[in-house]
Amino acid sequence: MSPALAGLFPGELENLVTGWGQPAYRGRQIFEWIHRRGVLDPRQMTNLPTDLRQRLALARGEGEEVRRLTSSDGLTTKLLLRLHDGEEIEAVAMQSSSGRNTICVSSQAGCAMGCVFCVTGQFGFARNLDAGEIVEQVLRFSSGARPVTNVVFMGMGEPLANYDETLRAMRLLTHPFGLHLGARRITVSTSGVVPAMRRLAEERLQVGLAISLHAPDDALRSELMPINRRWPIREVLAAADYYVECTGRRVSYEYTLMSGVNDTDALADDLARLLHGRLCHVNLIPLNPTEDINLVAPSAHRAVAFERRLRDAGIAATMRVNRGRDILAACGQLRLAEKRSRPIAVAAG
């Protein structure tokens, strides 16, 4: 299967069209249609000759929107996309009053990491997305009234387990002929794939790195995140420190608060000791509840107490607001709900 047009750089598009006897500048025109104007359908690229549009339309097509839901406050929109082979992925746009328009993208269909608090993690891994499929999620939100300002790789999948396509997608998003996002406006989240964290550090990009930590000790983290048995906390923190050393950028640690699991004062103290002296920020995220996971968020009082304890110990920490609960905004929820709502096909015997 040929790669999606959205995954090609201007030079690659030039090679494609010159191979068809077209002038090279058409390649850059196509890139600008896709990445600057968010037009994915070649038939709508009106300054291209008809025969070229028809030929481009034979390349692998874009995904199909299955659902687009907007939260009651209008600030969060969730998209369910069906890809060319039937796999379904989610992307979310989150707007803020300050004018930020952050797109959260998936990097894989499904996920192999099996984190116990994550719906996506319960349903296994299907395949890696290619760069075009990753970028398309952003482009589907870029033609609206509000320009895309930030991209976070925090949707379905482990981006650093799909390293090459994640990197390629970031280079496409920052390309000057396209969206031209600043690298500092992109954040990659990882469950702690240590070799890939080190490799990313050595790229010396200015992208942000967020590490899903969720527990301050190996016993608890291994229960929540099986990947911890392969790369324990000590190795994850060393790789994060290396990232800071190579890029000069502060990393963030994500900590999903789960009632009775990882939200005690004692664990807050352990977390503060673990991160003491490190250039980092802790994002506390009360668990987004879902009926498929037998875990709940702590009370607001408990969550605030946890945050205060970290701050009192000198750790920069912020409580994240759960957005879009009315549109199944937690990773994997919309895909699951959509699957359940479909009638089950029964093969004729």
Residue owning tokens 């494609």: 16
- Between CA 228 and CA 197 the distance in angstroms is 14
- Between 13 and 225, CB nearer to ligand SF4: 225
Which among 87, 90, 133, 254 is annotated as catalytic? 90
- Between CA 91 and CA 68 the distance in angstroms is 10
Contact 106, 121 (CB under 8 A): no
Among 22, 29, 187, 191, binds ligand SF4 (CB under 6 A): 191
Tell me whether residue 90 is one of the annotated catalytic residues.
Answer: yes
Query: Interacting stretch for ligand SF4, rule CB under 6 A, among 58-66, 115-123, 238-246, 335-343?
Result: 115-123
158 lies in the site for ligand SF4, by CB under 6 A? yes
Report in angstroms how near the CB of residue 212 gets to ligand SF4 at its nearest: 6
Among 213, 237, 271, 331, binds ligand SF4 (CB under 6 A): 331
Classified as helix, coil or strand, 232 is: coil
87 lies in the site for ligand SF4, by CB under 6 A? no
157 lies in the site for ligand SF4, by CB under 6 A? yes
239 lies in the site for ligand SF4, by CB under 6 A? no
Bridge partner list, 190: 211
Site string for ligand SF4, 120-149 (x = CB under 6 A): xx----------------------------
105 lies in the site for ligand SF4, by CB under 6 A? no
CA atoms within 13 A on the CB side of 287: 26
Q: What is the DSSP letter of 112?
A: S
- Between CA 179 and CA 148 the distance in angstroms is 8
The β-bridge relationship of strands 125-128 and 108-110 is: antiparallel
Report in angstroms how near the CB of residue 207 gets to ligand SF4 at its nearest: 17
156 lies in the site for ligand SF4, by CB under 6 A? yes
162 lies in the site for ligand SF4, by CB under 6 A? no
What are the strands, taking DSSP E only, across 83-185?
A: 88-95, 101-104, 108-110, 125-128, 150-153
Contact 213, 221 (CB under 8 A): yes
Q: Which residues bind ligand SF4 (CB under 6 A)?
A: 111, 113-115, 118, 120-121, 156-158, 191, 331
- Catalytic residue positions, numbered: 90, 331
